[in-house]
Amino acid sequence: MKIPSKAVLALADGTLFWGVQAGASGYTVGEIVFNTSLTGYQEIITDPSYTGQIIAFSCPHIGNIGTNSEDVESKKIWAEGLIFREITLCTSNFRSQMPLKDYLIEHNKVAIAEIDTRALIQRLRDEGWQHGCIMAGNIDVEFAIAQARQYGGLSGLDLAERVSTLKPYNWLQGSWKPVIGYQDYTADELPYHVVVYDFGVKYNILRQLVDHGCRLTVVPARTPASEVLALNPDGVFLSNGPGDPAACDYAILATQQILKENIPLFAICLGHQLLALACGGNTTKMTVGHHGANHPILDLEQNCVAISAQNHGFTVVEDTLPSLLKVTHRSLFDHTIEGLSHVEKPAFSFQGHPEASPGPHDLSSLFQKFTQLMKASAVVT
């Protein structure tokens, strides 16, 4: 048996975690965050919202079911690097096409395993996010520490444009169905035309919108509102994405212009923050972000609790919200804002990922609310 090469995780303060190589050789830098999900690792690492971040998984065994070409949320792995307690080399799943380690090597992603992830994650929980460098293969500790210290972080950084599509495209694919796989529809079968701003959109968001009757036109992050309005949409969707929402001035302006037209608007994650900014609110970097599939959310309108998937490091500052926005959802972990609704316009938002369905369908009503707004708007017009 080949002995794995050594690897090291260096934090900006000089702390070192030694382990073994679990992906490609080389080094990578980023903001270290932890994810508490027990499943869905392939969906997590292909989420564009993790651009600029290194993910530490709290689940001790990652890779059990291997990887395949279908359970991805985008065209590539966007996470800068990965940290595991143990990466499973023996996979067991009838859909598996490649072990996770081989998948990471194929995508040239650096990863480290066999470190004390509990100690690391407790540190992140108590002290907040850290800048770090993973180095595997030929190791230069001083260089790794220097790279971690030189990393600039995500504050003030616009990453949405980096991960966005380069040109518009149409999407008519729905969710996975037994036997037939992903369900494809024709445009005639879907009554609502929705323009999706791609700030780092996940495939399953698009599928959920299709499942609820939406034919989609996905456009680049910097698409002017005038071009979106020229498509005559029934609704506009602002997607998830990475980076600092306040840096996306073009998206804030487009959101303001779309709100003026009274077109139904649904926003999640980064889009949720952009809606708040477009209405005059502020956002701030969180000390400990939300990353996982077990986050309880209080629905203030329905007076019920939903289990949500989360992936964000910025949050809306509540005392900056204008009176035209009301809070609809709140985190039961730290009471931060998880949902907003415009009191004058047909627009609302959610901070988490309602498409990820850890509940499993606790938040599907948000998609239904969007289609109801579009239906009502069509009657009025």
Q: Mind telling me the catalytic residues?
A: 269, 353, 355
- Max distance between CA atoms of the chain, in angstroms, equals 70
Q: Detail the DSSP E strand segments found in 255-364.
A: 265-268, 282-299, 304-317, 325-331, 337-342, 347-350
**Of all helices (H) and strands (E), which one includes residue 259?**
helix 249-260
Helix (H, G, I), strand (E, B) or coil at 27: strand
Say if CB 317 and CB 351 are below 8 A apart: no
Angle between helix axes 249-260 and 270-278 (nearest 10 degrees) is 70
List the 169-171 sheet strands across, edge first: 169-171, 214-219, 192-197, 235-238, 265-268, 347-350, 337-342, 325-331, 282-299, 304-317
Helix (H, G, I), strand (E, B) or coil at 276: helix
Reported residue count of the chain is: 381
Say if CB 329 and CB 350 are below 8 A apart: yes
CA nearest 50: which of 310, 326, 377? 310
Say if CB 59 and CB 37 are below 8 A apart: yes
Cβ neighbors of 193 (< 8 A, separation 6 or more) are: 214, 215, 217, 231, 232, 233, 234, 235
Q: DSSP secondary-structure letter at 253?
A: H
Q: Detail the DSSP E strand segments found in 169-213.
A: 169-171, 173-177, 181-184, 192-197
Count of beta carbons in the 10 Å neighbourhood of residue 37: 22
